Amino acid sequence: MSGLKPPPLRDDCFALPAGVDWTPVDQALDRLRARLHPVVGQETCNITNALGRILAEPVIAARANPPLANTAVDGYGFAGEILTGGDHVLPLAPGRAAAGPRYPGHVPKGHAIRILTGAALPKGVDTVVMQEDVTLGNGEIAFRAGVKPGANTRKAGEDIAAGEVALDAGRVVTPADLALLAAVGVDEIQVYLPLKVAVISTGDELLEPGQPAGEGQIYDANRPMLTGLVQQFGYHPIDMGIVPDCRDDLREAFNKAAEKADVILTSGGASAGDEDHVSALLNEAGAMAEWRVALKPGRPIAMGLWQGTPVFGLPGNPVAALVCALIFARPAMGVMAGSGWKVPQGYSLPAAFEKHKKPGRWEYLRARIREGRAEVFASEGSGRISGLSWADGLVELGDGAIEISPGDPVRFIPFSSFS
């Protein structure tokens, strides 16, 4: 481990400009993106343990791929300069070239040699004719006109040359990347430490699933959902449990979370009511901004720092908590984890619904694809948690007035685009 740590976030990193009240979604995202940077340290990692890790530095190829010019097919190699417009009969040089040590001899001009896929081209060879296009005789081969100089060969370094950048910093390492790293001779890479995200639910009314529920009590749906999201994003969730509506208890939970985690994710208590202690504590710490984002579903989002640790206070309603986590916390955590700001990939689909939308706020509708069209959940009520399981993603509607009829194009963002 290198021990390299980035600087802390500034206390005003979430502050809104003076006079700003309701903030359009796109402006809120732009402000977040401009004010964040990685908050995690770095370490050296062997590529055998690198899957899913985030590159902290560009990876430079230690070796070219391929390291030597080689053949892409089984066939016969020769010097392409002998090719003319007619058919060819070439005597065979002794031996053959196969993958592994390079053929030690030199193939004379006007001769050919048996060569197998992946073999380095022997000296004197720059062209290969496929064995299917050859008639093999007694110590010689014949093939028709049409083979071009350089055919069926790969140049040294035509994929990546030694010293070139193989992978850029900020990339999440994939199985294909592991193959590339190995091919260019890299066995260790510099990566960011996994982002640790503490997840807290707040509210006197909350119970753990399975506990007997009394009147006015509900089961905590947010914490399992948010810890699952964090894990799906590739980060390390730290379950801090349920905290009652008690400021001192929440302060203690924040203190413990700040010791263990790089980011704190809460749900509930993020507005300005008497029991909204998340906002109150962040205000008390002097590093709080209540973002009144023009978003449906959603309420004000509390964002601030607690002992230098970023806090995202999400709404208590599970539907609003999920949408706000995907739209705001997800890209922000990507920056803090080192992978950069990722815009979810959406695409245009014909609508399978009607909607009249008023201007003034962005809306996200729970949606799924059926027969190439975007369906939306029957109810827009944010209390209908079943709609989250029903959906495959979200339909995004901008802040202007919109009239949607069946067949009109809409932007669909699959949930998988956030992972």
Mean pLDDT for the stretch of residues 213-228: 92
Cα-Cα end-to-end distance for the chain: 27
- What is the per-residue pLDDT across 86-134, written as a single tens digit (0 to 9) for each? 899 999 999 999 999 999 999 999 999 999 999 999 999 999 999 999 9
When the pLDDT of each residue in the chain is averaged and rounded to a whole number, the result is 90
Dist CA 112 CA 82 (whole Å): 11
User: Domains in the chain, please, with CATH?
Assistant: 22-39+194-337 (3.40.980.10), 45-51+56-65+158-192 (3.90.105.10), 70-154 (2.170.190.11), 347-418 (2.40.340.10)
Mean pLDDT for the stretch of residues 63-67: 96
pTM of the model: 0.84
Mean pLDDT for the stretch of residues 409-419: 94
Res 216: pLDDT: 85
Lowest mean pLDDT among 3-12, 84-93, 323-332: 3-12
> Residue 16 above 80 pLDDT?
no
pLDDT bracket for residue 54 (50, 70, 90): very high
Structure tokens at 123: 């000296």
Q: Which of 274-278, 299-303, 357-361 has maximum average pLDDT?
A: 357-361
Are the CB atoms for 90 and 112 separated by under 8 Å? yes
- What is the per-residue pLDDT across 163-184, written as a single tens digit (0 to 9) for each? 999 999 999 999 999 999 999 9
Res 19: pLDDT: 46
Dist CA 165 CA 59 (whole Å): 6
Mean pLDDT for the stretch of residues 128-154: 96
Structure tokens at 317: 């309603």
Dist CA 102 CA 52 (whole Å): 36
Q: Beta strand 309-314 with 301-306: parallel, antiparallel or unpaired?
A: antiparallel
> Residue 241 above 70 pLDDT?
yes
Res 153: pLDDT: 97
3-class secondary structure per residue, the chain: CCCCCCCCCCCCCCCCCCCCCEECHHHHHHHHHHHCCCCCCEEEEEHHHCCCCEECCCEECCCCECCCCEECCCEEEECHHHCCCCCEEEEEEEEEECCCCCCCCECCCCCEEEECCCCECCECCCEEEEHHHCEECCCEEEECCCCCCCCCEECCCCCECCCCEEECCCCECCHHHHHHHHHCCCCEEEEECCCEEEEEEECCCEECCCCCCCCCCEECCHHHHHHHHHHHCCCEEEEEEEECCCHHHHHHHHHHHHHHCCEEEEECCCCCCCCCHHHHHHHHHCCEEEEEECEECCCCEEEEEECCEEEEEECCCHHHHHHHHHHHHHHHHHHHHCCCCCCCCCEEEEECCCEEECCCCEEEEEEEEECCEEEECCCCCCCCCHHHHHCCEEEEECCCCEEECCCCEEEEEEHHHHC
Q: Beta strand 355-357 with 402-404: parallel, antiparallel or unpaired?
A: antiparallel
Distance set, CA 272 to CA 220, 302, 313, 404 (Å): 21, 10, 12, 35
What are the residues facing 412 on neighbouring strands?
347, 395
Higher pLDDT: 359 or 412? It is 412
Res 11: pLDDT: 55
